[in-house]
Structure 1
Amino acid sequence: METNGLMERVLPLKGVYNFRDMGGIKTRDGRKVKRGLLFRSADLTDSTEQDRKHIQELNLKIIYDYRDKAEADVRPDPQIGSERHERIAVNGEDKTTAREEWDPATFYKTFTREKFAQVYREMPVHNKSYHRLMQLFKNPEENLPVLHHCAGGRDRTGVGAMLLLRTLGVSFETIMDDYLLSNKTLVRYHEETFAEAARYVSGLQLKRFEEGFLVHEQYLDAAIGEIFSSYGKFGKYLETEFGITRADRRRIQAYCLE
C-alpha cells in the first residue's frame, strides 16, 4: 500500500480518532483535491478543548453524521462553532443494513469477513444517507467545508469518502490506499474493540475476529462492485442515484480541485 503523503493529512487531535483532511489526494488527470474542504473522522465526543479549537479553525459549514440515533445519543457530537449538524443513518434507524452489528454478543460471535462484506455491499445503493451527502456535495459553494463521520470513521465513512473522491475523478486504486489507511490511524480504536470482543469470544474465534475486523480491500471492493453490477458505470450511478450529471460533476471538480 502506498501511504506516502497520506499520513501527513491526519490531523494531530488528542481526543478524536482518524481525523483527516481529504485534500492533497491526486486525481487521474493529475489535479489534486484542495485542502480544507473535505474532512473525515470518527465521532467527536471525546474531543479536547484544544481539539475543538483546531476544528473551529477549519470553518466547517456542516458536520455530517452517518450514525443512527441510538449511537449518537450515547456519544453525541459537540457544537464546535457555527456549523450545522446533520445526521442520517447509513444503516437506517432500524439497522436494516447491519441488522446484528449493534448487538455485541451476536456481532462478535457470528462475525465473518463474508458477512461484513455483505454489509458494505448493501450500503451504496438506494441509501438515504448517501443521497443527502451527495445532495450537499452537489452544491459545494454552499456546503463546504464539510466533515463526514461515523463511529470509527472507517466503514460508513469509508464508503462516503469513496463516493466523494470518485466523483472528483480519483482512481479506485488511490481511494483504496486512503481507505486502508484506517488500519494505521485506528490502532487504539481497534485495540479497544478487540478488548470488548474478548468478553464474548476467545481463542481462534477471537483471532479470526481481530484479523477480519481490520479494514480489507474485500470490503470496499464489495461496495464498489455493487455499484458496477447495478449501474455498469460510475457516471450512470451518480446520475441515476443522485441526479449528478456530467456537467454537475465538472462543476464540482472545478470547485474542489486544483
Structure 2
Amino acid sequence: MLIRNLLTAACAAAVLAAPAVQARTAPAQVTEASVVLKDGTYQVSWKTSRPGAPVDLYVAASPDAPLKAMRKLADNDTDGAAGVASAQAGAARPYFYVVADGAKTGLRAATRVVPLEGAANFRDLGGYSAAGGKHVRWGQVFRSNGLSTLTDADYKTVGDLDVRLVCDLRTDQERKTQPTVWRGGKAVPVFLNSPKAGLDIDMRALFGNGPPSPQAVRANFIGFYKLMPDAYAGEYKAMFEKLLAGDAPMLVHCSAGKDRTGVASALILTALGVPRAQVTADYAMSETLLDTESARRAMAAGAKSDDPNAAMFAKLPPEITRVLMRTEPAYVEAALDAVTEKYGSVEAYLDKVLGVDAKDLAALRARYLE
C-alpha cells in the first residue's frame, strides 16, 4: 500500500510539473527589434522573451519579402546585437528580420529615417507596436518634408521604395515656389494635392498685437494645432480613402514635414492602434532632424514670391523661429485633444468627419499591421 501511494503521488507531481517544463521549453519570441545606421554600418539590436535566446538574422530589399527570399546574415546569435556593413546589407534601404530559434514568426526592422541629401525629415512609419499585439508594417507609409531639393542619388533611394501615391499637403503657392519634379522609380506616382490656394490662417495671427514673444507665439501655435484637424479634414479624408483602397506605399508630406504632416501621421498611427506615447514620440522626432536655419533659407526663397506668410517667416527673429520649428509633444497633443473634446474621441472624429468607421479601422489594421 505504501509503495502504491508513493507511486500515485509521484505521478501526480509529474502531471503538475508538466506545464512548467513545457513553458521552459517553448520557443523564445523576439519582442523588440531596431536598426540604426551609423558610419556606414547598420546596428541591429533586439530583445527576446528569454534573454540570451539564440536568433537568426536575415535581410531583404523588400519589406514584404518572405523568409525563403531573405538572405541569412547570422545564425544562433545570442548577444542581442549585430553590425552589418552597408555593402553586406546589399540594398539602399535594407529590411532586417530577426527570428528566435524554433519560433514561427519574428520581427522586421529598418531604420526609421531614410537618409537623403535633400530631405532631412523623410522617414518610415513602420515598426511601431499597435493594436492586437501587432506592429505597423514597414515600407507602407512614409512621411517627409519638401521634395524639391532631392538629388539624383536621393531619387535612386526613393525609387526603390516603390511609392505609388504622394499626398502633398502644401498649398498651391508652396508648390509653385518649390515644385516637385519626380524622377525616381519605375513609374511616376499619383499625386494627391491639397486644393488650398494658400494657408487657411494668416500667420500674422500667431504673433498677436505688438512685438511677438516666444510665449505668446507658442500659445497661439497650439491654438493653430487645435484648428488643424477640421481645417484639413478634406485632405485627411482623401488620404484615408487612398489608404483604404490600398494605394501604398504612400508618401505624405508638406514643407517642413512636421505640422500638417505631423497631424496626418498622428491620425494614421492612432487609427492603427498605436499607443499615444509612441504617436507623440514620432511627432517629436522632426525637431531632431530639421535644421532651423535651412528652413529659414527655404522661407526666404519663398519670400521672393507673392507668399506673405513666407515673407514674414523669413524676417522673424531666431527666438520666434525656434518656437515655430519645434515639434513639442504639446503641439500634436493639442490637435488630438481638440478632436476628443469636440467629437468624443479620435476614433469618433475619424468616423464622423473623415468617414472612417469601425469597419474601415478593422480593414486598415488588417492591411497595415503584421
What secondary structure, in the 3-state scheme, does the structure 2 residue paired with 1:9 have?
coil
Higher deviation after alignment, 206-215 or 217-226 = 206-215
Q: Secondary structure at the match of 1:40?
A: strand
CA contact (8 A) 1:14 1:47 kept: yes
Which sections of structure 1, spanning at least 5 residues, go unmatched? none
Q: Which residue of 2 aligns with 1:250?
A: 362
Over 3 Å counting, the alpha-carbon distance change for 1:242 and 1:199 in structure 2 is closer
Separation of aligned partners in 1, 2:368 and 2:287: 27
Report if the CA contact (8 A) 1:16-1:44 is conserved. Answer: yes
| Pairing of 1:62-77 with structure 2 (within 5 A) | 62-77=165-180
Query: Which secondary structure state, in structure 1, belongs to the residue aligned with residue 158 of structure 2?
Result: helix
Partner of residue 200, structure 1:
315
| Secondary structure of residue in 2 paired with 1:26 | coil
Show structure 2 runs of 5+ residues with no match.
1-32, 37-110, 301-311
Alignment of structure 1 residues 1-258 onto 2, 5 Å: 5=34, 8-79=111-182, 80=184, 81-88=187-194, 92-96=196-200, 98-100=201-203, 109=212, 112-125=217-230, 127-140=233-246, 143-186=247-290, 188=291, 190-193=292-295, 200-202=315-317, 206-211=318-323, 213-258=325-370
The structure with the largest helix share of the pair is 1
- 8 Å contact kept, 1:10–1:21: yes
Are residues 75 and 207 of structure 1, via their aligned partners in 2, closer, same or farther at CA, if it must alter by over 3 Å? Answer: same
| Structure 1 CA distance for aligned equivalents of residues 319 and 355 of structure 2 | 44
Q: Which structure's residues are more often strand, by fraction?
A: 2
Using the size of structure 2 for normalisation, the TM-score is 0.60
1:102 and 1:87 map into 2 onto residues whose CA distance is 25
Larger Rg, first or second structure (1 or 2): 2
- TM-score relative to the length of structure 1: 0.85
Give the aligned length: 243
Identity fraction in percent: 26
Amino acid at match of 1:166: T
Tell me which amino acid in the other structure corresponds to 1:191.
Answer: E
RMSD, aligned CA: 2.7
Q: Aligned partner of 2:202: which letter?
A: R
3-state SS of 2:167 partner: strand
Amino acid in the other structure paired with 1:254: A
77 and 209 in structure 1: CA distance in 2 versus 1, 3 angstrom threshold: closer
